[in-house]
Amino acid sequence: MEMRNQQEELIRLLAAKQYTNLRQLLTEMNEADIAVLMEELEAEEMLKVYRILPKDLAADVFSYLETDSQQFIINSLSDKEAGSVIDNLMADDAADLLEEMPANVVRKLLANANPDTRQAVNQLLCYPEDSAGSIMTVEYVSLKENLTVNQAIERIRAVGLDSETINICYVLDARRELVGTVALRYLLLSDGDDIIGEIMHENVISINTLMDQEQAAAQFKKYDFTAMPVVDNENRMVGIITVDDIVDIMEEETTEDMEKMAAIVPSDKPYMKTGVTETYRKRIPWLLLLMVSATFTGAIIASFEEALSVYAVLVAFIPMLMDTGGNAGGQASVTIIRGLSLGEIAYRDIPRIMWKEIRVALLCGGTLAAANFVKLMLLDRVGIPVAFTVCLTLAAAVLMAMLVGCLLPIGAKKIGFDPAVMASPFITTIVDALSLLVYFRFAAILLGI
């Protein structure tokens, strides 16, 4: 049944109060699809559907809901019911939920959760925000070195249902230090009397609890894993991160970078669920800052007002010069920011980057200047001195823009700022001012104004 048909059927069954049939329909659907359908309902109807869901399915569906919907459901449930929701969530999902809740609600939820859940969630909440420890889950399968394959399989049967994944099992010694891994398929293909310590893979790649989540995502990309162990500073295993968490992190980081590159304060809420006032608050600080910084370009134009009155035609080419410079700087900055985020570029690479950007700028600037010279002579019909002034400025603007566009993000990264902050808006403002200064300097030399 298509999603639209499922939604129509769900609404029909709700309106007719045919809850048994509705429950049957829901149990035949995927958890993520149920969450999507629930998000389309009014709040009270969504709560009805959630209460109809079987207990185990309800927990899975809950983890796919938007944060606002999760909070509404939690606040609508009794203390006991809310505690049950937390108990049935994976620890990392429960920690993510509690981070978004008011303190009084968090106390209520933890007070009604079972001790094991409470301990696991509290452990995750103690790690720094955006660290590997804060996004890991503590539900994984651990094995001891001296177990036989048969004993290991029995342990997997005992704890596997409550684990995030059983494809990879982690081998720990007596001090809970991570000493190896063993894949489930190897256990199934090995002799039942084989010892885990003899068949495990000892070259284990792990993530430290304090590693930034963006670096953790880079590790997944580098090694192409679906799950990675997380260890503390003493190599004791404390959890795992799975690829579904990494996909969420990559989406979050990409969205944040895009917002910063557009000069918007990052927001955790989806666009359609962000109010007008909140959207205004996110955008106006940067707009005010960039407006003030843009006054420098106005001041430069004003200072050359007398010269421009002699060659008024020069004014017509200012937007083209500023736009082209801003576009060139934006291209360079986006390339560099991507390289920084993927770990392809380091501070020591600045000389090579500058040399490359200079050559690219000369090629791009030369091509643009040549094309613009033809346009100026054939279409605009300006004099050769004016054409040379505009074209030389254009080539210089492209060169400056590309250098600024590549150096600013690297400099920001070096001093601890997010490189995305130094993207298009800031670069455009700087390049605009530099382009105008060069423009009027060339005009003074070539046109004698």
Do 407 and 437 have their domain in common?
A: yes
The domain that holds 18 is classified in CATH as: 1.25.60.10
pLDDT digit string (tens) for the chain, length 449 residues: 576 777 788 888 888 888 888 888 888 888 888 888 888 888 888 888 888 888 778 878 888 888 788 888 888 877 777 777 777 777 777 777 777 776 666 666 776 777 777 667 767 777 887 888 888 888 889 999 999 999 999 999 988 887 888 899 999 988 889 999 999 998 999 999 999 999 999 989 999 988 988 888 888 888 888 899 999 888 889 889 988 888 877 777 666 666 555 555 555 566 666 778 877 777 777 677 667 766 777 777 777 777 666 677 888 888 898 888 888 888 888 888 878 776 788 888 889 999 999 999 999 999 999 999 999 999 888 889 889 999 999 999 999 999 988 888 888 778 777 676 655 567 777 888 888 888 888 888 888 77
Do 211 and 335 have their domain in common?
A: no
In a domain, residue 367? The reply is yes
Q: What is the largest CA-CA distance in the chain?
A: 95
Give the other-Cβ count within 10 Å of 449's Cβ.
Answer: 16
Tens digits of residue pLDDT in 58-107: 878 888 888 788 888 888 877 777 777 777 777 777 777 777 776 666 66
**For residue 347, which of 292, 416, 299, 393 has the smallest C-alpha distance?**
416
What's the total number of domains in the chain?
3
Q: So what's the pLDDT on residue 195?
A: 93
The domain that holds 170 is classified in CATH as: 3.10.580.10
d(CA 273, CA 66): 10
Q: So what's the pLDDT on residue 153?
A: 92
The domain that holds 388 is classified in CATH as: 1.10.357.20
Which of the listed residues 92, 120, 135 is the one where a domain comes to its end?
135
**For residue 352, which of 341, 339, 342 has the smallest C-alpha distance?**
339
- Tokens representing 178 are 């991570």
Tens digits of residue pLDDT in 311-356: 778 888 888 988 888 888 888 888 888 787 767 888 888 899 999 9
Which of the listed residues 135, 154, 174 is the one where a domain comes to its end?
135
Do 169 and 315 have their domain in common?
A: no
Whether the model pTM is above 0.85: no
In a domain, residue 266? The reply is no
Give me the domain span that covers residue 87: 3-135
Which of the listed residues 106, 135, 164 is the one where a domain comes to its end?
135
